[in-house]
Amino acid sequence: MKIVAARLHRVRLPLVHEFRTSSHGKSMLDHILVELIDASGAVGWGEIASPSDPYYAPETVESCWHIAERYLVPAILGKDWNRPEDLAQLWAKVRGNQFAKSGFDTAGWVLWATTAGVPLADALGGTRTEVVAGVSLGIEPSIDALLTEVERHLAAGYPRVKLKIAPGWDVEPVRAVRAAHPDLDLHVDANGIYTEAQSDQLKALDEFNLTMIEQPFAPRDLLAHANLQREIATPICLDESVETVEDLETALSLKALRVLNIKVSRMGGLTPARAAHDRAHSAGIPVWCGGMHEFGIGRAANVALSSLQGFSLPSDVSASAKYYTQDVITPPVTATQGAVRVPTAAGLGHEVDTAFIAQNAVATIELTS
Ligand code: OSB
Ligand code: MG
């Protein structure tokens, strides 16, 4: 296959409900949609779901646009390739910048699966026909407001709830949610905000029967995670710490995790995300697919990835409607009683709504070979 043209669309959508984590708060999001066109005219779409600020990872929407326009598009235009796994070779000289790469890797997979006439999930080797969705709830203005949010999502059928925590918003909200829902599959995510000196606050969470504590410490501080894991029964899950399969290998040998959150964006695409799944699965580590508030294109890719066997825990693949009133794909991703059906149509399995994208684009460029 040969990419002859690429378009980047920076699309802005308002969020249904403001989302706040230990590191940032947002009421609208700009994601970059990557449209790759091959010599036969076939199209593959991908999504760069970088937050606008460098608070989750070092990348921003602007850095992604720059890397995409200046390095990634030129690396692939006019080059021959056979399988989506081959694409990464073309941009191998570009270090890091996983969010930017992820949009291109995903677009390559979608283009390949579309051309081959197979669903994206099948192309990846997925076997599940349906994936279980969990919700991620941000830091709320009060415990009552949080309890209301939990109720609302349980009523919608989601079987797992993850709560964002931060110093000052940890033991008390968790105690309140656990008291109201003794059997709920509940976990917390600190987005790396605690220091090892604050470990006592995290140990205090051990009594609430949480499914996991996600990324308590800074991304590079694998030793702190290993130290805490030795002292608590609750499994530690890594998110920000694992950007490459080599990071996972290091974390495994340090026993710094018992669960892995795999994000397509954070790892640089479906190819490395699948490799991380394979490695974790062989090490007996359960995985789930994390989200970055993806628009429909990235969301559908997450659903396809979650159809792989090792994704045995609920993934952040809630319905588009949790975040957006209208999505860039039709139909949007929907969940029924907390489960999302894996599409059986070729490629992404959803139509891309190019008119809606054009209406909401704040910048577009086209590059050709
Ligand atoms: O750590 O999982 C995270 C959103 C932005 C930055 C970091 C995270 C998140 C989420 C989003 O939790 C969950 C979703 O997309 O459903
Ligand atoms: Mg996380």
Encode pLDDT of 44-82 as tens digits.
999 999 999 999 999 999 999 999 999 999 999 999 999
Name the superfamily (CATH) of residues 123-341: Enolase-like C-terminal domain (3.20.20.120)
**215 residue type, one letter:** Q
Residue 164 falls in the annotated catalytic set = yes
Average pLDDT over residues 146-169: 96
**Which pLDDT belongs to residue 359?**
98
- Chain centroid, CA 61 distance in Å: 16
**Which pLDDT belongs to residue 21?**
73
CA proximity to 2, closest of 42, 35, 32, 31: 42
Average pLDDT over residues 285-300: 97
Burial tier of 89 (Cβ tally within 10 Å: 0-12, 13-18, 19+): exposed
Pocket test for ligand 1, best of 136, 187, 266, 327 (most atoms within 8 A of CB): 136
Distance CA 36, CA 6 (A): 5
Pocket test for ligand 1, best of 293, 295, 327 (most atoms within 8 A of CB): 293
316 CA from centroid of ligand 1 (Å): 8
**Which pLDDT belongs to residue 198?**
97
Average pLDDT over residues 217-223: 98
Is residue 104 within 6 Å of ligand 1 at its C-beta? no
For domain 3-117+354-368, the CATH architecture is 2-Layer Sandwich (3.30)
Atom of ligand 1 nearest to the CA of 322: 16
The answer, yes or no, to whether residue 22 has pLDDT greater than 90, is no
The answer, yes or no, to whether residue 346 has pLDDT greater than 80, is yes
**Which pLDDT belongs to residue 89?**
96
For the chain, domain boundaries? 3-117+354-368, 123-341
**Which pLDDT belongs to residue 209?**
98
User: Model pTM?
Assistant: 0.96
What's the ipTM?
0.96
**Which pLDDT belongs to residue 181?**
98
